[in-house]
Amino acid sequence: MRTYKIAAMGGDGIGPEVVDAAIEVLKVCAGRDGGFRLEFQDFDWGSDYYRRHGRMMPEDGAEQLRGFDAILFG
């Protein structure tokens, strides 16, 4: 069974709630299909991260995302 790795970035505003809801829907889809699994990893790269670090994501942020099959943005 194939496992897809998905990076989840809620971002700002209603983004986190949208991403949380999307993850729940995707989990149901994977469960009903039965032919694939999903693994999610959360990244808190948004305005809060920017205020703490002075940048939107770490310098190696793009490299951190290379191993994922998809990115879910809020």
8 A C-beta contact, residue 10 and residue 19: yes
Write down the pTM of the prediction: 0.89
The total of structural domains in the chain comes to: 1
User: How many Cα atoms occupy the beta-carbon half-sphere of 17 within 13 Å?
Assistant: 2
What pLDDT digit, counting tens, does each position of 9-53 carry?
Answer: 999 999 999 999 999 999 999 999 999 999 999 999 999 999 999
At 28 the pLDDT is 97
User: How far apart, in whole angstroms, are the C-alpha atoms of residue 67 and residue 62?
Assistant: 10
At 55 the pLDDT is 96
- Domain hosting 60: range is 2-73
At 42 the pLDDT is 97
At 41 the pLDDT is 98
User: How far apart, in whole angstroms, are the C-alpha atoms of residue 13 and residue 6?
Assistant: 21
pLDDT (mean) for 53-62:
96
